[in-house]
Structure 1
Amino acid sequence: MKALVLLVCLSVSCFAQRPQPCSSPQMMSGGLSVSTQNEKLLVFAKYSYDAIGKRIRIKELGTYHNDTFHLDVLLLYRQGVMYKINERSRTCLKKRLTEDFHPLAIPQDAALISQAVLGSSSVPGEGVTVNMWTGELQMKKGTAKYLSTVTEFGCVPVSTLFSTDRKGWVVASFFNNIIGLADPQDLTPPAFCKNSQLEEEEGEHLMSFLSLF
């Protein structure tokens, strides 16, 4: 009987330890880099992320087809608009946001590839345990494959590889993440954006970036 109880306990313990799909913190701030295979996009950015209000602020420096650009954009998915903000000139362009909001999370149907340690597991504090997941997402224009890596504890994003036929691979690496918003005002349109008129033009390189969310 004791052997049976021990076997059951071990089985439950093993099942409990198996990584499960998870959701990242609902509010985060940090930095990230993004590059694409087919569209020649390379971006370094600071971001603020609010899954509750479906809002994202991105302040980025990058190159697109060998042209350098600076971009400060506030994405308000519930309103279906994005603001391109220029703090220096205090100007603001309001554009339609057609992409859907995708919270930072591992989908429930994702398949676990493996669990690994980034850094070293030899000494405590020298490494972090991560889980790597893969799967497919149904998008407006077809199916997209993804490979996502998140921390075992907290489900904090580490990297995401996202692939579609048109874009090829889009690669994002997250760093300096904090839980919460470093500056909550980042997710509110500046006062000089109040009278901005809606325009129809969309930034192609921005659409590549939005596919990650």
Structure 2
Amino acid sequence: PVGGCVEGWAHCTLRGGGGLFEYILLYKDRMMFQIEQATKQCSKISLTEPWDPLDIPQNATFEDEYSIGGPQEQITVQEWSDRKSARSYETWIGIYTAKDCYPVQETFTKNYSVILSTRFFDIQLGIKDPSVFIPPSTCQTAWAERMSEDCSW
């Protein structure tokens, strides 16, 4: 399994509802900052979901192994899920490199209308710039509720 960020930080950018939002998730503090990029308005929201260490859970079901890419540019990946025989579908599918178990893609299905799919690229070990996890000064007076983005994750 991949040795992820032990303290559980995440930094991402999401476009939704015509706006561009940056998210800083500080799992150790159980806090998420949602920053609207044009105005720098900020919301500070409690995190309720646990940190996802981006590894293959012990109880995962092996689905398949295959190569992605073209000739002389292939990499072997393995696909895992939380599918169980008593359920008709899985709620999590993870694709990882076979050699070092780096994440390639994860898909979470909360219900039939909410799906979160994450693709991983340009992976580097460690955190190159820890300052991306420091909320901007506008977050000192952050709103206590999430700004509308027309999607939920």
Q: TM-score, normalised by structure 2?
A: 0.77
- Flag the structure with larger Rg: 1
* TM superposition shift of 1:78: 2.2
Deviation above 6 Å: which 4+ runs of structure 1?
none
- Show structure 2 runs of 5+ residues with no match: none
The one-letter amino acid of 1:84's match is Q
* TM superposition shift of 1:146: 1.7
- Show structure 1 runs of 5+ residues with no match: 1-21, 27-50, 138-142, 209-213
* TM superposition shift of 1:191: 3.8
In structure 1, what is the equivalent of residue 107 of structure 2? Answer: 161
8 Å contact from structure 2 (residues 20, 36) kept in 1: no
> What do you get for the CA RMSD once the two structures are aligned?
2.9
- Percent identity, aligned pairs only? 24
Q: 1:201 to 1:118 in 2, by over 3 A?
A: closer
**Separation (CA, whole Å) in 2 of partners of 1:110 and 1:177:** 23
Q: 1:184 to 1:159 in 2, by over 3 A?
A: same
In structure 1, what is the equivalent of residue 3 of structure 2? Answer: 25
In structure 2, what is the equivalent of residue 196 of structure 1? Answer: 141
**Separation (CA, whole Å) in 2 of partners of 1:100 and 1:202:** 21
**Separation (CA, whole Å) in 1 of partners of 2:91 and 2:36:** 34
More strand by share: 1
Q: 1:106 to 1:205 in 2, by over 3 A?
A: farther
More helix by share: 1
Q: How many residue pairs end up in the alignment?
A: 149
